[in-house]
Amino acid sequence: MGGQSFQGGPDRVIAARFPAAFDLPAGRVRVGGDASMAEFTPVPPLDENTPIAVEITVRQGKAVATARRTGMLLLPTIIVPGYLSDMAGKPDAGILSAFEQRGYRSQGPSPDLFWFTYPSRSLGLREASQALSTYVREVVLPTTYAARVNVIGYSLGGLLVRWNLAFDDGWDHLVNRFVMVGVPNEGTVLSYVGTWYPIAAPWARTSAARNMLPTFPFWRPAPGAPWTFPPDAQNTALIELNTHPLPEGIRAYAFYGNQQPDAEGRGTWAGVTGRLPRPGFASGAGDGVVLVASALGLPINGGDGVPGLADRLVMQRDLGPVGHLWLLESAISEIEDVLLGAGVHDQPRPSRDGVERAPTMQPAVQNAPGGRFLISGAR
């Protein structure tokens, strides 16, 4: 950058080390505050990761020393964690450390990695999304020199990002890459069943938990009856969100866990038959909380799915039999590759079965009073 050299007289004494700051808007390299050492073409606010190369030559008499360095100016990346993540009271140090090992900075005067903490037990989907939008505009953008950002949405966090892409003016141009990790795009049956049990009810009855109720038919009164919705499981917020496709200018990626039901039919809940005290549960492929089909917006139990989601993903990544709580940790290395462009092409990739689409739900075995029976998954 600049391609300039600096020469001092023989009577000058130069420190062995001195810091230099790159003033991107002004196109200057400064030392000691305002002293300008070199000029380069001013750089506009970043809308993509930007590689840089710096060469400095020092001459003293006949002695010449040249140093070359290359680097990358990274777009800000915001990690939006899932439901109940605020119970820890602080960001996940292990996750941040893994990103910092790849060149990101979460501390210091020029951070490019941010962790959005929000009170998930007291805010609904709409309110938490507004808090995220405020955080990006009032904290992230003023702290960085960027016109666009990358966002990683884990679980409920991915719904917050989708909400802003759908309803917040400008987010469709603000977001460069959007990485979804185990996002319940069509909700999760666990949010409904949790209200039945006293130990889980305090967390299953919050606004955010209710905003993760399934938007696909998931209940029936008896075996063999068609799938429908129970009267106490309306989720108007997620239904409204799912009428909005992903903006075409967004590069979106989906990472998901894919554990098939075992021989006894135990897996990720896909449906409920009956009620307490003896309900039956239908299972499908997923991470124990979120079905594969929900993470990809595919039809489930005869539902419509999410138009404009799976077909607009540039990559679908099957992480295999990884549980929901460990998805983000398991996917870190590959997410970093996506954000850094390390050998990752922005085009659909085959899933593990070699087919260039998301795997469909497999027929699942349901355990119920009076025996076992098969249900058909979405295809």
* Residue 24 structure tokens: 């991107």
Residue 172: which H helix or E strand, with range?
helix 171-174
Query: What sign results for the dihedral spanned by CA atoms 274, 277, 282, 285?
Result: positive
Instruction: Verify that 179 and 266 share a domain, yes or no.
Output: yes
Number of Cβ within 10 Å of residue 132's Cβ equals 24
Residue 165 falls within a domain, yes or no? yes
- Give 153's strand partners: 80, 180
Q: Give the mean pLDDT of the chain.
A: 86
3-state SS class at 141 = helix
Q: Note whether 360 and 290 are same-domain residues.
A: yes
Structural domain contains residue 1? no
- pLDDT of the residue at 200: 86
Residues 59 and 129 placed together within one structural domain of the fold:
no
User: Is the residue at 58 inside a domain?
Assistant: yes
Q: Which of 75, 152, 202, 141 is nearest to 335 (CA)?
A: 152
Residues spanned by the domain of 46:
6-73
pLDDT score, position 260: 96
Question: Does residue 275 form part of some domain?
Answer: yes
Token pair for 134 = 């405020």
Same domain (yes/no): 211, 288: yes
| Residues 15 and 160 grouped into a single domain | no
User: What DSSP element (H or E) covers 330?
Assistant: helix 327-340
Picking from 73, 95, 119, the residue at the C-terminal end of a domain is 73
- pLDDT value of position 276: 80
Whether 236 and 111 share a structural domain? yes
135 and 31 in a common domain? no
* CB-based contact 211:232 (threshold 8 Å): no
Residue 31 backbone phi and psi in degrees, to 5:
-130, 150
The domain that contains 190 carries what CATH number? Answer: 3.40.50.1820
Q: How far apart are CA 238 and CA 212, in angstroms?
A: 7
**DSSP secondary structure of 256-287:** E--BPP-TT--SEEEEEES-TTS-EEEEESBS
% residues pLDDT > 70 (the chain): 85
Please report the pLDDT score of residue 356 as a whole number.
42
Instruction: Encode the chain (379 residues) as per-residue pLDDT tens digits.
Output: 444 444 444 555 556 666 777 888 888 888 766 777 778 888 899 999 998 887 777 777 888 888 888 888 999 999 999 999 999 889 999 999 999 999 999 999 889 999 999 999 999 999 999 999 999 999 999 999 999 999 999 999 999 999 999 999 999 999 999 999 999 999 999 999 999 888 888 899 999 999 999 999 999 999 999 999 999 999 999 999 999 999 988 999 999 999 999 988 889 999 999 988 889 999 999 999 999 999 999 999 999 999 999 999 999 999 999 999 999 999 999 999 999 987 555 544 343 333 444 333 333 333 333 222 223 333 2
Task: Give residue 379's pLDDT.
Answer: 26
Cβ of 29: how many Cβ atoms within 10 Å? 21
Our count of domains for the chain comes to: 2
Strand order in the sheet with 149-154: 113-115, 77-80, 149-154, 175-181, 251-256, 313-318
C-beta of residue 291 within 8 angstroms of C-beta of residue 270: yes
Residues 46 and 142 both lie in one domain: no
Determine the pLDDT at residue 366: 32
Token pair recorded at residue 21: 């700051």
The answer to whether residues 278 and 154 belong to one domain is yes
CA dist., res. 258 & res. 241, Å (int)? 25
What pTM did the predictor assign? Answer: 0.85
What gap in Å lies between CA 189 and CA 75, rounded to an integer?
Answer: 36
Residue 131 CA to residue 117 CA, distance in Å, equals 10
> Which residue among 56, 73, 90 closes a domain?
73
Question: Does residue 353 share a domain with residue 269?
Answer: yes
Return d(Cα 131, Cα 15) in angstroms, integer: 47
Cβ–Cβ under 8 Å, residues 117 and 86: yes
Residue 233 belongs to some domain of the structure: yes
Distance CA 31, CA 79 (A): 33
* pLDDT of amino acid 350: 40
Residues 171 and 277 in one domain: yes
Last residue of a domain, one of 73, 108, 130: 73
Q: Indicate if 68 and 123 belong to the same structural domain.
A: no
66 domain-assigned: yes
